[in-house]
Amino acid sequence: MSAVPTTETTGTTTRPGTALPSLAAVYRSRAGVELKEFFRQRESVVFTLVFPVLLLVVFGAVLDYDLGSGVSFTQYFVAGVIAAGILGASLQNMAISIATERADGTLKSLYGTPMPRSAYFVGKVVQVLAVTVLIIAILLLVGAVFYDVQLPSGADWLTFAWVTALGAAACTLLGIAVSSLARNGRSASATVTPIALVLQFISGVFFQFSQVPVWMQTVASLFPLKWMAQGLRSVFLPDALAAQEPAGTWELGRVALVLGAWCLAGLVLCVLTFRWQERGTR
């Protein structure tokens, strides 16, 4: 296949036998770039990886009360802080890093190369996956070793996996979409960080969701974080505590539905808004 010129220009200027690199090869290359970019940047590592662990350490030490049925608040908080960790690794990370790369010309340079455009997004997805898995592993380890957090068992792991995957997918897509609203990485950070913080307060991360005023619960229900935290609570808490949820159950079906809807909305927004260059340069 590679021997057949696909355009009129191929034969005259490209050396014979030189096919474009395979998608897999470029995907690997981009994945390597994205992993290095993330883990070598102190700000992103501290912000995304260290901060949630600090939260777990502090909250676990301070708010170690009993929720009933012999369940500690830390057990409840682990579900919330994992949800917040996923949010940071996906939505916040994507919004800030892509806005930065758009403002400093990285994206424009890539657009001028024969890199398949999908490779950029594959690299980002690999980065989000790696960071997400790492943050969850660290949080589980710290929780289990220092705070007696009970790890999930049996089918709960399956729920854990799909809630994480669906939540991370929705938030990654939203992060890519949000990056287009910002002028640069700094302004993306200034916009996204407070919103994420407010969502964490009203979505049952720092406090029990049942203690949040109803109107705030309603606001939180519009966004993915509440549903991620709720789905993860079903993984980390005994079913007896489902009674404390607003609906009286874990509502896993609805969790899947809302997160799936956000994936779809995020995808549409990405397709409509993604730009390889700064605004007003075409």
CB-wise, 170 or 188, nearer to other proteins? 188
Does the protein bind other proteins through residue 9 (CB under 8 A)? yes
Does the protein bind other proteins through residue 124 (CB under 8 A)? no
Classify residue 22 as exposed, middle or buried by CB count within 10 Å of its CB (0-12, 13-18, 19+): exposed
CB-wise, 9 or 153, nearer to other proteins? 9
CB-wise, 117 or 161, nearer to other proteins? 117
| Interface stretch with other proteins, choices 36-44, 172-180, 197-205, 264-272 (CB under 8 A) | 36-44
Q: Which of 1, 3, 4, 40: binder of other proteins (CB under 8 A)? A: 40
Q: Which of 108, 184, 207, 246: binder of other proteins (CB under 8 A)? A: 108
Quick one: which of 226, 123, 208, 118 has its CA closest to 167?
A: 226
Other beta carbons within 10 Å of 78: 28
Does the protein bind other proteins through residue 130 (CB under 8 A)? no
Shortest Cβ 153–other proteins spacing (Å): 39
Does the protein bind other proteins through residue 106 (CB under 8 A)? yes
Shortest Cβ 179–other proteins spacing (Å): 15
Measuring CA to CA, how many Å separate 143 from each of 28, 73, 74, 75, 184?
33, 12, 8, 8, 36
CB-wise, 102 or 226, nearer to other proteins? 102
Does the protein bind other proteins through residue 33 (CB under 8 A)? yes
Does the protein bind other proteins through residue 101 (CB under 8 A)? yes
| Interface stretch with other proteins, choices 62-70, 74-82, 110-118, 146-154 (CB under 8 A) | 110-118
Q: Which of 109, 118, 210, 249: binder of other proteins (CB under 8 A)? A: 109
Q: Which of 4, 13, 145, 248: binder of other proteins (CB under 8 A)? A: 13
Does the protein bind other proteins through residue 111 (CB under 8 A)? yes
Does the protein bind other proteins through residue 279 (CB under 8 A)? no
**Contacting positions for other proteins (CB under 8 A):** 6-10, 12-15, 18-21, 25-26, 29-30, 32-33, 36-37, 40-41, 100-101, 104-109, 111-116, 119, 277, 281-282
